[in-house]
Amino acid sequence: MSEKPTQLHIRPITAADADAVCAMSLNFRHYLEALGDTDDYQFNRARYLQDGFGPDPAFGGFLAVLNDEAVGYLLHCPSYNSDLACRELMVIDLWVEPAGRRHGVGKGLMQAAGDLARRRGATRLIWSVFKPNHLAYDFYHRIGGEMIEELDWMTLPLSRD
């Protein structure tokens, strides 16, 4: 008996994808926690809808559907590099469920982000990787990602008041 061919579809996220994206985001969170991430996770359905689909969306994204099952997502936001005088697209999250791995899902999501970035006049994608996440480093290197050795990410927490 032959195996059913896999059908991968990458499309922009919608408000109706809130449950699927949030469930995968929580799986991503558990994966990062197992690697030692201690950030206070607060992403949920309400934040997805408010921050991604309100009057001033903070992010956009793509959903990967493999054989009618949501198996991955990528969230992004615009960025600008004044040194290079170029637009960029920042990848905020990229997660592929174990069932979607080795089917081109991650690569497809990054290609969709790259296509969007080019349409918006951006010249590159940028992202950060949690240092213990060696699977992510391996994946990004395989698709041609390059480290920016000269930079370290920093943060300045602001209250939401």
Domain spans of the chain? 8-142
- Whole-angstrom distance, CA of residue 46 vs CA of residue 93: 18
CA dihedral 113, 114, 118, 123 (to 10 degrees): 120
Answer for the pair 73, 63: CB distance below 8 angstroms, yes or no. yes
Q: What is the pLDDT of residues 37-75, one digit of tens each?
A: 999 999 999 999 999 998 999 999 999 999 999 999 999
- Which of the four pLDDT bands, split at 50, 70 and 90, describes residue 1? very low
- As its CATH architecture, domain 8-142 has 3-Layer(aba) Sandwich (3.40)
Structure tokens given for 29: 């969170």
Write out pLDDT tens, residues 89-140: 999 999 999 999 999 999 999 999 999 999 999 999 999 999 999 999 999 9
Is the pTM higher than 0.85? The answer reads yes
